[in-house]
Chain A
């Protein structure tokens, strides 16, 4: 096999890897704030791509992308405000133990509703977004291997998302408040942090970065009302792979999974790409539920 083809696989792995990494970051943000796995995470990526597709018909592309991110972020915030916060209060009132289970079921229901809504709005056809620079036939080449300039946009956007999030959590007041909430809900409330607002913020953030990933990758991967489920599973695989809640590791794990998946085409038929990820998910859960990079101790504390 020539090294050009291997390079193509590598590039395709990087594209998908960055989507998975961003979804995993979204999972982590919500998980750290609430302990819930938000099953609608992949739907945010779908919404980002599809809203950009529609808006780019009337707005210039950068404005369309920003608007799509804003709309998706708003959707995420509203969903949290109306459904998660409401039900969370009900359950807290009952002192039920199964609250995480209920909230998880809630996000599953919400993901179906978002998907059906997208089906009503955009129909069943595959949609795309135009390339940020050049067209689908334009390509750059490095050492004989060709790739679309969009790949640079994707990598750049992923790096930007990661940098903004890191800075946000490290330096901004809200970011630090969110970290305090995930360390101790009660303790942070005593310090005057509005924990509910932080949970809403976590949904807004994870929806926004999901939408950004959806918009940036749509020109190459295309988008469709039903892409959310598979993306959620893979994003979760990556989040677990890196150790749930550990963002730096999630990004690394995202690229690892994307690359493994795209090289798996050499061995297995393309239809089994998803199978590869899920086998990886199950093996990681079996061998190291705390993740590849997480310490066993930390994993155990979190899951106990």
Chain B
């Protein structure tokens, strides 16, 4: 039986819309700040989900693309460029780098991409830490607000907490809808066919290298959007966001979410990042994500399927 893939999306939007009501009832509006950040992290994980779950390629450079988006926005805005233009540049820069790395590597087997993107992530972190122009270990602070329209802007601070929560979740929901629709399009079907058998897909006339590259670039763009917007929300960016462990976090989130399960990835991404930002994991913050990755691979190599009826947004029967 084919489930309507938009049903879980609708459920997600409802839950996201009800949450602020609940937080204000329980006088816990400060949760919204962490939820907003979690939503941006989840957006980066969503991009990786397309690449890992559907194109079957491991990327360990998602945090690198997040950082490219974040730093491009921060540098250009501090130089006086309009944040909207800076955002565009951030996304384009990230996409360009993804094409440059993806072209040589995606023709090869999966582990080449894993190692090449791991290397890419390390390079981005080194550059972020080592170049004085990017603020070194301190990063860049005082990034101006991103004005969307009138007083609606992406910026931190108590007065903007609710509006920013809504903006972040609106963007995340839109991205989710785009991903789900992409999967049922012609290029989405081509991408899904890669997962079954690359040889068969290729025999059916799918340009496998181009499909994989497209997924890689989309993943990079999602991370850059998340990075750029979160930088405006926080008002700053530091090299910690480019660290390898961050890329591995995205990977664990996608793995727990069910590898090829957009809704699962987004829900898990929000929950885990929220817990991490609240400091629940304490000093074991990084270890938790490593342990999660190992646990998922041991217990459920294809990822945990959330068994709630609305939580499955899989375009392909499993």
Residues of A bordering B, CB below 8 Å = 36-37, 39, 83, 86-87, 90-91, 94, 96-98, 100-106, 108-113, 115-117, 229-230, 232-233, 236-237, 240, 269, 271-272, 274-275, 277-278, 281-283, 285-286, 289, 303
Contact A285–B104 (Cβ < 8 Å)? yes
Nearest 8 A-B pairs (CB), nearest first? A112-B290, A109-B293, A286-B104, A271-B130, A116-B287, A109-B294, A278-B119, A37-B111
Partner of B297, one of A100, A105, A236, A281: A105
Tell me, in angstroms, the Cα distance from A230 to B197 when the chains sit together.
Answer: 33
Closest chain B CB from A31 CB (angstroms): 9
Known A36-B111, A112-B245, A303-B109; contact A274-B123, beta-carbon cutoff 8 A: yes
A112 touches B286 (CB 8 A): yes
Nearest chain B CB to A160's CB is how many angstroms away? 28
Structural contact, B105 and A91, CB atoms closer than 8 A = no
Contact B110 A101 (CB under 8 A): yes
- In the complex, what residues of A have CB within 8 A of residue B126's CB? 271-272, 274-275
A85 shortest CB reach to chain B, Å = 11
Interface size class of B (residues with CB under 8 A): 35 or more
Docked Cα-Cα span, A283 to B101, in Å, equals 10
New A-B pairs, 5, CB < 8 Å, besides A108-B248, A113-B290: A109-B248, A113-B291, A116-B287, A272-B126, A275-B127
List, sorted by A's number, 8 A–B pairs whose CB atoms are closer than 8 Å: A39-B114, A115-B290, A229-B244, A230-B122, A236-B115, A274-B126, A275-B123, A277-B119
Q: Does B60 contact A (CB under 8 A)?
A: yes
Q: Does B157 sit at the interface, judged by CB under 8 A?
A: no
Does B175 reach chain A (CB closer than 8 Å)? no
- Closest CB-CB distance, A281 to chain B, in whole Å? 6
For the complex, give the distance between the alpha carbons of A87 and B115 in Å: 21
Query: Which residue of chain B lies nearest to A302 when distances are taken between CB atoms in the complex?
Result: B109
B112 in contact with A285 (CB, 8 Å) = yes
Using CB atoms, name the residue of chain A closest to B295: A109
Which of the residues A83, A104, A274 comes within 8 Å of B111, measured between beta carbons?
A104
Whether A87 pairs with B301 at a CB distance below 8 angstroms is yes
**Chain A residues whose CB sits within 8 angstroms of the CB of B252 once the complex forms:** 109
Distance between Cα atoms of A105 and B126 in the complex (Å): 24
Q: How far is the CA of A97 from the CA of B115 in the complex (A)?
A: 20
- When chains A and B are docked, how far (Å) is the Cα of A230 from the Cα of B121? 10
B301→A90 contact, CB < 8 A? yes
In the assembled complex, the Cα of A303 lies from the Cα of B107 at a distance in Å of 10
- A108→B104 contact, CB < 8 A: no
B286 proximity list for chain A (CB < 8 A): 112, 116
Per-residue interface assignment for chain B, residues 95 to 126, with 1 indicating a CB less than 8 Å from any chain A CB and 0 otherwise: 00000010111011111101110111011001
User: CB-CB < 8 A to B248: which residues of A?
Assistant: 108-109, 112
B165 at the interface (CB under 8 A from A): no
Q: Does more than half of chain B's interface fall in helix, strand or loop, or is it mixed?
A: helix
Q: Decide if A109 touches B108 in the complex (CB within 8 Å).
A: no
Contacts of A237 in B (CB 8 A): 119
Cβ–Cβ < 8 Å partners of B60 in chain A: 108
Interface core residue of B56, B252, B284, B294 (most chain A CB under 10 Å): B294
- With both chains docked as a complex, state the minimum distance between the C-beta of B312 and any C-beta of chain A, in angstroms: 19
Which residues of B245-270 are within 8 A (CB) of A?
Answer: 245, 248, 251-252, 255
User: How long is the Cα–Cα vector from A161 to B23 in the complex, in angstroms?
Assistant: 61
Which of A96, A113, A269, A282 contacts B104, CB < 8 Å?
A282
Contact check, B112 vs A278: say whether CB atoms are below 8 A apart.
Answer: no
Q: Whole-angstrom distance from the CB of A266 to the nearest CB of chain B? A: 18
The distance from the CB of B104 to the nearest CB of chain A, in whole angstroms, is 3
A105 and B58 in contact, given A94-B301, A112-B289, A271-B130 (Cβ under 8 angstroms): yes
Q: Output the least CB separation between B315 and chain A (Å).
A: 17
Q: How far is the CA of A83 from the CA of B245 in the complex (A)?
A: 21
Interface check B298, CB cutoff 8 A = yes
* Contact partner, B294, options A37, A83, A230, Cβ 8 Å: A83
Q: Which residues does chain A contribute within 8 Å of B58, judged by CB atoms?
A: 101, 104-105, 108
Q: Which residues of B contact A277 (CB under 8 A)?
A: 119
| Shortest Cβ gap from A176 to chain B (Å) | 27
Given contacts A233-B119, A285-B108, A303-B108, contact A104 B290 (CB under 8 A): no
In angstroms, Cα B123 to Cα A109, docked, is 21
Enumerate chain B residues within 8 angstroms of A110, measured Cβ to Cβ: 290, 294
Residues in B neighbouring A101, C-beta threshold 8 A: 56, 58, 110
Q: Which residues of B contact A282 (CB under 8 A)?
A: 101, 104-105, 116, 119
B290 partner residues in chain A, CB cutoff 8 A:
109-113, 115-116
Question: Which one, A100, A102, A117, A233, contacts B118 given CB within 8 A?
Answer: A233
**A109, B115: Cβ atoms closer than 8 Å:** no
Closest to A36 in B: B111
Judge whether B163 is part of the interface by a CB distance below 8 angstroms. Answer: no
A273 to chain B: closest residue by CB: B126
Among candidates B107, B122, B293, B301, residue contacting A112 with C-beta atoms closer than 8 Å? B293
Chain B residues near A278: list those with CB within 8 A: 116, 119-120, 122-123
Contacts of A90 in B (CB 8 A): 298, 301
Kindly state the separation between the CA atoms of A277 and B101 in the bound complex, as whole angstroms: 14
Q: For chain B residues 281-318, which have a beta carbon within 8 Å of chain A?
A: 284, 286-287, 289-294, 297-298, 301-302
